[in-house]
Amino acid sequence: MAVDYILAVGHVTRKVRKYLASDLSFVEESPSYGLELYALLIDWDGLHCYAAGQGGKVVKYQLSDLQVVATSPLYGGTVRVIEQDAFYIYVGGDNIDRIRRYLKSDLTYVDQSPNFGGTIHSLLIDWTYIVAGGSSAVPRQFRRYLVSDLSYVDASSSVGADGIASAWDDDYIYFRTSSYNMRKISRST
């Protein structure tokens, strides 16, 4: 599948920027978020994207012109990660240390998980579970919640490091630590 555009967010510009994939030339940018941006997600619909960061709000933009469509209520801290399913977006971050769920359509707040115990830096989701990783209290763990109501299910054994960025397959969770090492743990632990 060919990609026409690349999107980026950052600390300095405080905007979502669009670049041509072919030569990385600048195309356009969104209005200013106001503070540093850390998280960006393109909606499965291919028409929208979401950005969030230091301000604690999620902003939904049209991909065509990067204009604001909706803004969420405040998260309660800095948003570090955004994930999605068919109807909702899920955000995690610091200060309140919870996964919050918002409707994709207008970013209305729906509910939140119990406290993670530290800053959430990564979220992985399937149709049954959402897994959070980050800078948690000792022991450092990935924690699993039910997607249906965000209730706590269980946690991995200690992974010995912060789970900063992650991906998974059928068998393993792969993650980057705060010291930039790559690790993996079994999904069954």
Quick: pLDDT tens for 130-178.
Answer: 988 888 665 678 889 999 999 999 888 777 777 776 787 888 878 777 7
Distance, CA of 61 to chain centre? 16
Interatomic CA distance for residues 133 and 49, integer angstroms: 23
Q: What is the pTM of this model?
A: 0.89
The H-or-E segment that residue 160 falls in is none
Structure tokens at 33: 């978020």
Instruction: Please give the domain boundaries of the chain with CATH numbers for all domains.
Output: 1-112 (2.130.10.10), 120-189 (2.40.10)
What residue type is 114 in one-letter code? P
Q: Please report which confidence band the pLDDT of residue 37 belongs to, taking 50, 70 and 90 as the band edges.
A: very high
